[in-house]
Amino acid sequence: MSGTTEAASAERPRWWRLLRLLLVMVAAALTVASPWWGPKALSTLAFFHVRRVVFEGMRYTPRAEAIALLKVDTLQSVWQEMAPLAARLEAHPLVAAVQVERQLPGTILVQVTEREPVALVRRADGRLDPVDGNGYRLPIDPARVPMDVPLSASADSALLQLLDGLRTAEPALYARVERADRVKDKGAPDEFRLKLGPVTVRTTPEVTVSRFKDILPVEADLARNRLRVVELDLRFRNQVIARQP
């Protein structure tokens, strides 16, 4: 049988063999190039027009403002380039990063990482400005959007970075902070004072999250011994000094 097949193949004219080779090469080229021509061809089909835009991770950014920045409508295709959409939305002052994906046949999924407020800083006129860990003032109205963040007298960068570190690494500890300030007493070096309920924590501006956590075992020990404390002092190296009322 194989001999018969080989003989039939050998009897075919040379032009036939060249045509078959050409067809194979064209098919291979189309397969390799499909990431370029495929989306362009599919984008012309009404079946792939945008029907929905779904946002994830958006708490503070108004949806209407996000839609306006994306500039997407139902006449566009989900096969359009996603990078320009992400770039447009990243221009919003509340947005830190964006990832845009298509979900066939007609949905665009937008995953948003927002700038998180870590404190409310009081202005000279008495109003409160939400700020993130870099001191960036966020266009959020605290009267309309509830935020459980501490108060601060100023947007001190080192203090805000400490608060942001606590927020991400020790959220339970951060949630206890009611107020955080940088204080300079006459004749004394600067220090941070953070009010955690009835307890004030005093520390230096060089404090790290790891160092700040040193108060936890001290608080646990004091609680076991039923001792009430009003101040925990971290200003001295490798020590936590507890002061009672």
In this predicted model, what pLDDT tens digit does every residue of 99-158 receive, in sequence order?
Answer: 999 998 889 999 999 999 999 998 878 889 999 999 999 999 988 888 999 999 989 999
220: amino acid identity, one letter: A
- The confidence band for 162, taking pLDDT boundaries of 50, 70 and 90, is very high
Residue 106, phi-psi category: left (phi > 0), alpha (psi -120 to 50), beta (remainder) = alpha
Q: What angle do CA 25, 30, 36 make, to 5 degrees?
A: 150
Give the pLDDT band of residue 13 (cuts 50, 70, 90).
Answer: confident
Does residue 41 or residue 97 have the better pLDDT? 97
What was the pLDDT predicted at 46?
66
pLDDT grade, residue 54 (50/70/90)? very high
Tell me, what DSSP letter sits at residue 136? P
Q: What is the spatial distance between Cα 143 and Cα 134, in angstroms, rounded to a whole number? A: 22
pLDDT for residue 79 = 86
C-alpha–C-alpha distance, residues 179 and 149, integer Å = 9
The distance from CA 116 to its chain's CA centroid, rounded to whole angstroms, is 8
Which tokens in the block code for residue 189?
């070096």
Give the span between the Cα atoms of 232 and 15, in whole angstroms.
92
Q: Are 112 and 88 in contact (CB under 8 A)?
A: no
Could you tell me which of 229, 232, 233, 234 has the C-alpha nearest to residue 244?
A: 229
Angle 65-67-73 (CA atoms, 0-180°, nearest 5)?
A: 150
Alpha-carbon Rg for the chain, nearest whole angstrom, is 31
- Please give the full DSSP string across 138-163, using - where no structure is assigned: P---TTTS-----EESS--HHHHHHH
Secondary structure class of 114 (helix, strand, coil): strand
